[in-house]
């Protein structure tokens, strides 16, 4: 499984909301997480360039407050939390389901 290059991964401080508002697609990840690698790989394969952020413990606490989930990947599209790799706040969410169901345009419109 390909890990993300460190040049592709950003470390950003600031609130979760300021980060997700400033970037179209954001993936909060943890190095070595196979689901994080899969999510980023699938987004790139579909032609998207996500902003990939190595989640700090402080950011994970903020994510838990915002989404009720500390797990990664934690994915946001245009400021909306869409879940992780295979699951999300709605049954059809999770980046793999969104990509397979051609639902990205609904978020990016």
The pLDDT value recorded for residue 18 is: 92
Q: Measured between alpha carbons, how far is 59 from 78 in angstroms, rounded to an integer?
A: 18
Residue 54 belongs to domain with CATH number = 3.40.30.10
Q: Measured between alpha carbons, how far is 26 from 91 in angstroms, rounded to an integer?
A: 20
Classify residue 1: in a domain, yes or no.
no
Classify residue 60: in a domain, yes or no.
yes
Lowest mean pLDDT among 14-18, 50-54, 73-77, 79-83: 14-18
- Residue 55's domain comprises 9-108
Our count of domains for the chain comes to 1
Classify residue 2: in a domain, yes or no.
no
- Tens digits of per-residue pLDDT, 12-69? 556 899 999 999 999 999 999 999 999 999 999 999 999 999 999 999 999 999 999 8
The pLDDT value recorded for residue 109 is: 82
Q: pTM of the entire structure?
A: 0.86
**Is the pLDDT assigned to residue 2 strictly greater than 70?**
no
């Amino acid at each position: 499984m390909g890990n993300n290059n460190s040049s592709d991964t950003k470390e950003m401080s600031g609130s979760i909301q300021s980060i997700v508002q400033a970037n179209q697609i954001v993936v909060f990840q943890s190095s070595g997480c196979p689901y994080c690698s899969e999510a980023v790989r699938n987004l790139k394969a579909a032609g998207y360039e996500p902003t990939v952020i190595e989640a700090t413990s402080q950011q994970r606490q903020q994510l838990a407050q915002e989404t009720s989930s500390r797990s990664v990947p934690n994915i946001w599209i245009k400021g909306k939390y869409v879940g992780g790799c295979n699951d999300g706040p709605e049954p059809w969410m999770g980046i793999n389901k969104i990509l397979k169901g051609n639902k990205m345009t609904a978020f990016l419109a």
